[in-house]
Chains A and B, each alone.
Chain A
């Protein structure tokens, strides 16, 4: 066991996890913004925007994330000359963020939309009946309830995003799964312990997020 600890200390595990956390942070924010726009498209009573939103969502969420990431590093950068930086590592990082963003935006959109769907039609009818115009009924009645209903699915998307940051290994971003691969190749005797260490790291990151989402969604639940 002491041997294993010295092996561990030779690798920058915390640094690799930090990359995953940064990926989660940036991709999460961008995907939430894009997902919100898509959700507005899908909810609006405008056919062309509906079409754009639902086409995007249906295509992106049926595409493997791995293909999207590979597309970034094998097509966007070398073929279509999309470049974020001269430094390879930085460029790959942002290509990874881009891939994670376009993929998870579809799921953020669906999470938000399912939140809106939890609001019964009677709420909107009541808001109109007491004379609230569109913006007021959206702001005061519908969206607050919709947001509360969306917490649980949003939590799920964030958890999925955290786990999916490992997929950017396909885009040569030096994060935890690449470090882990290096470790199991060099120290194959310790495969089980290395796996447990990395896995427990994810449990430590993911479980609190899950607990928080469950707690919030219960606490803020609209009683009906």
Chain B
């Protein structure tokens, strides 16, 4: 056990699985770094730094730099997964899914069903998402609801370094195609993370806080925000449960419903655009399955239905903040 950043936790998961299983490869733009350049041997591990150190240990045959051709290399990762490798492909920003989405949702996500169950596609697509870096409209989106919509894909959103390592090892060992979403603001967060490999199962929510008055369901960076709110309001006598579902597909609906049954109040915090996102999905679930348990209308905390703005003043207004979560919790608690 030692203190590791979110970035280091994922890096360690990749390295440990590559040591364990020779069919695990990683690929992406600059994943080794410097291919064909004068400083080729001084691999920098990509813009995210998550793959740093892998090329020196595993070589360029298993740590592949790619041209900027997401359709080709994400598709190649799909084809490699269907024929015997376990590729972990980095789609640098999830916003770039627009240029390779066919390979993810029409190919990887459908092989198993279309081919009558005979295909196995153990693919991981790692990708950075989320607002907060002044990166503007094409480098800041969440987009996980779009992947969640596709049968055949699994969708993972770690909320801390510990979660990231265990979920990444699970993703690599999983036999289905997995979209693994890394919030860019979390990369430097640190916490105690076991040195040895471990897995966290998909579809099992984590209760980061347990309380009796309000259930907060949150994803990714919204989990630490919600924890912060729960800790503050606890001192005022408003006791919150915070549910981190960890995966949006599969979704641990049982735990969400049990928590709502206990508290009778629900706030869903989702950094994704507000139409057809996880907040609407979970609100519909609870309205349908647990309406009788509700003591107050459900509240959703989301950004507005706009692209992510650039100007710091605007982006700060856009992002769901602890203050907005707190206001929603107070509203449902009638406090």
Is the A/B pair a real complex?
A: no
